[in-house]
Amino acid sequence: MALVKYNNNSIADVTAFDSIPTGALVLLTTNTISSGVSSSSFTSSIDSTYDTYIFKIINCHPATDGQAFTVNFRDGSTAFDAPKTTTVFESYHNENDSATNLGYRTDNDLDANSTSYQSLAHSVGADADQSVSGTLHLFSPSSTTFVKHFLATTFNAHSSDIAYEQFTAGYCNVTAAIDGVDFKFASGNIDSGVIKMYGIKKS
């Protein structure tokens, strides 16, 4: 009796396998930062081609110690100032095991319709081995009917030697299409890092 099956056939009876799917995730843009820049912007390829866009943040390092890593959105204008409402949840644990936390972070969220940059990571350290990494999802940015939801998870080495995780959720309170996304630290440049933008193919 065959214990391993493929499409309900024993492996011994299979004459050909289906092709392996290439996947629904399509890399659209890679921003590689090798010297200090004020921000990392994505201003093309955000359109109706994909329902969901994913931004992969990889080891972004601040030039200035203790800075929040932030994001903002563009809704057809030249400025990254789409109105937003957000909520933030955090967890952390420091290296000497003397401090932990798990809870709602009221000072990192934005009040209704704020046009400010939203913090995605708190107080990122500037030591050589410290950085922030994570993922941001942007849903249906080209819709002209609904608000634009986004969801982010980041992990960073805090300036006070703390392992820090932040969950951010919210929406851009506009019906105009979102056509740009900008990442930066609250103060100072991004010294180094990579941010990649992917589109998820429509089913």
pLDDT reported for residue 4: 45
pLDDT reported for residue 18: 54
pLDDT reported for residue 183: 98
pLDDT reported for residue 58: 98
* CATH placement of domain 24-200: 2.60.120
pLDDT reported for residue 191: 95
pLDDT reported for residue 99: 80
Distance, in Å, from the CA atom of 80 to the CA atom of 63, rounded to the nearest integer, reads 22
Return the residue matching tokens 């922030």.
132
Domain locations along the chain: 24-200
> In which residue ranges of the chain is pLDDT below 70?
1-23, 203
pLDDT reported for residue 23: 57
pLDDT reported for residue 177: 97
CA distances from 20 to 17, 23, 26, 192 (A): 9, 9, 16, 35
Distance, in Å, from the CA atom of 203 to the CA atom of 192, rounded to the nearest integer, reads 35
Distance, in Å, from the CA atom of 159 to the CA atom of 103, rounded to the nearest integer, reads 20
